[in-house]
Amino acid sequence: WACYRKLYKLQFGGSDYVTVAEWSSQEETALLMIQQLTGPSARNQTMFVQSIDHRRFLRPREVISSSTAYHVAFEFMPLSLAEMAGNHLINELRLASIMGQVS
């Protein structure tokens, strides 16, 4: 975790929160989204995520395991307001929820 700086937590829909963090080395800096997986199926879930090989899915950039959880880091891909405005699933309540998280 020495290369990561936690910035904030973000919730997508009704799912669990993910951590948005900055990863940095001497050569590069990147924003990542880190999903924590816990429980008896966490190892299997992590292996499943690592096995996905499709151009429309993000591949995990790194997996960090501890005694209680797996943390899977993906490239952070923010949505633009134009993408949000064009999404028919975003109603007023969902938009208010998103705005509350970013303000």
pLDDT score of 55: 81
Tell me, which fold does domain 4-78 have in CATH?
A: Phosphorylase Kinase; domain 1 (3.30.200)
Between CA 68 and CA 42 the distance in angstroms is: 9
Alpha helices in the chain (DSSP H): 42-51, 81-85, 92-102
The answer, yes or no, to whether residue 2 has pLDDT greater than 90, is no
For residues 17 and 70, what is the distance between their CA atoms, to the nearest angstrom?
A: 14
Residue range 40-65, pLDDT digits in tens: 999 999 999 999 988 878 889 999 99
